[in-house]
Amino acid sequence: MSSTRGKFNSRIGFILAAAGSAVGLGNIWGFPTQAAGNGGAAFVLMYLVLAFCLAYPAFMAELIIGRHGQANAVESLRKISTTAMQKRFAFIVGFGGILCAALLMSFYSIVAGWMLAFTAEPITTAVGANAASDWLTSQSTSRNIIFTLVFTVLTVYIISRGVENGIERWSKRLMPALVALLVSLTVYVLTLDGATDGLKAYLIPDISRLFEPDLIVSALGQAFFSLSLGTSVIIIYGSYVARNENLVSLSASVTLIDVFIAFLAGLLIIPAMYVAAAQGVEIFSADGSLKSGDTLVLTVLPALFDGMGSIGVFVGFAFFSLMSIASLTSSISMLEAPVSYTVERFNIERNKATIVIGSLIFATSCLIIFNFSTLFGFVIALTTQYGQPIIGMFCCIFVGWVWHRSSLLEELKAGNEQIEHQLFWKIWPWYTKLVCPTAIAIVFIHSL
Ligand code: PHE
22 lines ligand 1 (CB under 6 A): yes
Amino acid 221: pLDDT: 84
SS3 182: helix
Amino acid 12: pLDDT: 85
Q: How far apart are CA 13 and CA 163, in angstroms?
A: 10
Amino acid 280: pLDDT: 80
109 lines ligand 1 (CB under 6 A): no
What residues form DSSP beta bridges with 290? 284
36-61 in b/e form (b: 16+ CB < 10 A) is bbbbbbbbbbbbeebbeebbbbbbbb
Q: Which of 8, 39, 33 is nearest to 250 (CA)?
A: 8
Q: Which of 388, 306, 354, 309 is nearest to 103 (CA)?
A: 388
SS3 170: helix
Which atom of ligand 1 lies at the shortest distance from residue 24's CA? 12
Give me ligand 1 centre to Cα 51, in Å.
Answer: 14
Residue pair 147/114 in contact (Cβ under 8 Å)? The answer is yes
Amino acid 227: pLDDT: 94
Chain center to CA of 408: 27
Residue 144 amino acid letter: N
Chain segment 329-358, per-residue pLDDT in tens: 999 999 999 999 999 999 999 999 999 999
Give me ligand 1 centre to Cα 285, in Å.
Answer: 31
11-447 CATH = 1.10.4160.10
In this structure, the residue with its CA closest to atom 10 of ligand 1 is 228
Q: How far apart are CA 437 and CA 60, in angstroms?
A: 14
Below-70 pLDDT ranges, the chain:
1-4, 288-295
Q: Residue 308, class by beta-carbon neighbours within 10 Å (0-12 exposed, 13-18 middle, 19+ buried)? A: middle
Q: How far apart are CA 96 and CA 76, in angstroms?
A: 14
Amino acid 412: pLDDT: 93
In this structure, the residue with its CA closest to atom 6 of ligand 1 is 228
Count the alpha carbons within 13 Å of 222 in the hemisphere toward its beta carbon. Answer: 33
Amino acid 291: pLDDT: 64
Q: How far apart are CA 73 and CA 75, in angstroms?
A: 6
In this structure, the residue with its CA closest to atom 9 of ligand 1 is 228
Give me ligand 1 centre to Cα 60, in Å.
Answer: 16
Q: How far apart are CA 386 and CA 168, in angstroms?
A: 30
Q: Phi and psi dihedrals of 280, rounded to 5?
A: 100, 0
Q: Rounded to two decimals, what is the model's pTM?
A: 0.92
What residues form DSSP beta bridges with 284? 290
Amino acid 2: pLDDT: 40
DSSP code string of 285-333: -TTSSBS-TTTHHHHHHHHHHHTTTTHHHHHHHHHHHHHHHHHHHHHHH
Residue 80 amino acid letter: I
Amino acid 315: pLDDT: 82
233 lines ligand 1 (CB under 6 A): yes
Kindly list the domain boundaries of the chain, sorted by start residue: 11-447
